[in-house]
Amino acid sequence: MQMKMTTKVKVLLALVVVLMPFFLITNVRLLVRPAANFYARTTELCAVLAPAPRKAEVAARARGIREAAAWCAEHPGRALGGWLTTWAPDYPEVRNAWLMANLAGLFLVAVLAGGVAYRRHTNPFWRIQQKIREEQNPYAGSYVRQFIDSWREEKGLAGLKEHPAGGTWIGVEIRNGRPVVITDQDANQHVFLVGTTGSGKTTTLMNFVESALQRGLPCIVIDGKGDPDLAGRIRSLAERHGRPFRLFAMRGDSCLYNPLAHGGITELTDKLLYLTEWSEPHYEALARRYLQAAFRVLKATGTQLDLHALTRHLDPDALAALARKMADDAEREAVFGVLSLAKTEELKGLIARLALLAESEIGHLFAAAEGKTLDLAAVINHGAAAVFSLNSLAFPEYSRLLGRLVIADLKTVADRQHGSKIIYTIFDEFSVFASRAVVDLISKARSKGFHTIIATQSLADIEAAAGQAVVRQILGNCSTLIIQRQRQHQDAEALASEVGTRKSMEMTYQVATGMLKDQTGYGSVREVREYIVHPDVIKNMLTGDAVLAQPRRVRYIRVRKPGER
């Protein structure tokens, strides 16, 4: 397997290749003469007791070595070239002395470095500091360590091809390259993913989509941003794994979608009530009674039920005219008794919201017609992929209403499924359609097989759209938190606080005054609480990296790219 090198490693290797010749030439110029002189002197001393002829021979050889060393010092480049091209030079002692001097220097450096490392290792406070530093900053370490860690991570990512039977490969741990899986049980307890633009959030989401389609599980995605690239990537994955694909889009080619196709009178009423944040329970109860009466009339008269038919008959006069066709006198009288409720302002607001969808430029997409229709029950039964691409930039109000309506319809369809079925639901740019009622609905749908991933760019987006209480509600309902890069310090700090704190040691040192300010050897150590993941780490994470926080465990991960081979 060929390892991919990071940019830093490539630059480091390039510098080594460029600077190595200059280093070797300088090394020869500085070391060859003293090393050769030491060798020649040692040879002469060893020959002190030798016979006179032998002593003269050794002295002559020593002079030759010194002269050769002087020439090498003056011409280091030519000397290196001769040593590399000639196995047996005229004076091999010069080359050998230079090599031994370098080996001795390396040995001395290794001994000194080992002594420093041993002293640090035996210092318990240094070990505590080092452990905290590595846990708080996943990128800490020398270039050599980063190179080794990168190799481990790439090797681990290359092995994540097929998702496991009971979960999703999300990536590998930074540093050790161990695979990280988010199980179906984790997803059933809901996942909250937060990452700013360019942090790799979409890639993270695509791992869940790929896992569901690969295992034949239904996957419904509501994209509040309406990104056509996301829909295209999901379509490609569905085709690769042989799964049906349906797309509802506010612009371009789109399936039809009838949110009122499934459910009884009470369920249909609940769907529409989720569209409004009710200020008073009294008004909500009145709206419920009126909508139930309207649905009862439409079903009793055999009227085809969709948003267009509903909005046409929600007007009290139109509903009264249709109610006169009801065969049951008691039901008809009960309906007429409810018609007076239409005068309340809150109910008029709900009727206006429904008319806003049905009469808009995308209203034709909500017709109950034969043809290319997105039916959530069929999506779930056939293990298909469905994408609702809501263009919140061009249609902000429609996107908000439709997102809430789809989630309510999902809950109704899932509730009518026989047996327990795993349904992956992904809500990207959740702030577009967030509300307290929607979050409560998602939480209650857990028992119906919902395995939900809620994604947003920042906590501030949801807070601005639905309030701080909804942010707390989401964080309280999601057992798995995936944090990718954040730009704002307030969001990074809030997420770091959500991950939690731990016990740590804070050390202070006493410094001597005067000309040389140095440690006196005295200081203090005290126990403190500090962030498990510091906000600065969250703000400076690389694209594709994340913090995975689960109960009793926090890991730094490098996210896998779907379909990576």
Percent of the chain with pLDDT over 70: 87
Exposed, middle or buried by CB within 10 Å (0-12, 13-18, 19+), for 333?
exposed
Give the tens place of pLDDT for each residue, 275-325: 877 777 877 888 888 889 889 999 988 888 888 888 888 888 888 889 888
pLDDT at 388 over 90: yes
pLDDT at position 371, please? 67
- Bigger pLDDT: 565 vs 64: 64
How many angstroms separate the CA atoms of 273 and 405, rounded? Answer: 9
Q: Provide the token pair at 259.
A: 């949110």
pLDDT at 69 over 50: yes
| Average pLDDT score over residue span 94-117 | 90
Beta bridge partners of 428: 223
State if pTM tops 0.85: no
- CA 97, distance to chain mean position in Å, is 56
pLDDT at position 68, please? 87
How many angstroms separate the CA atoms of 416 and 375, rounded? Answer: 14
Exposed, middle or buried by CB within 10 Å (0-12, 13-18, 19+), for 146?
middle
Average pLDDT value over all residues in the chain: 84
Q: Among residues 306, 301, 295, 243, which one has the least CA distance to residue 270?
A: 295
| Average pLDDT score over residue span 469-480 | 92
The answer for residues whose C-beta is within 8 angstroms of residue 513's C-beta and 6 or more apart is none
Beta bridge partners of 222: 388, 427
- CA 317, distance to chain mean position in Å, is 54
Give the tens place of pLDDT for each residue, 537-561: 999 999 999 999 998 899 999 999 8
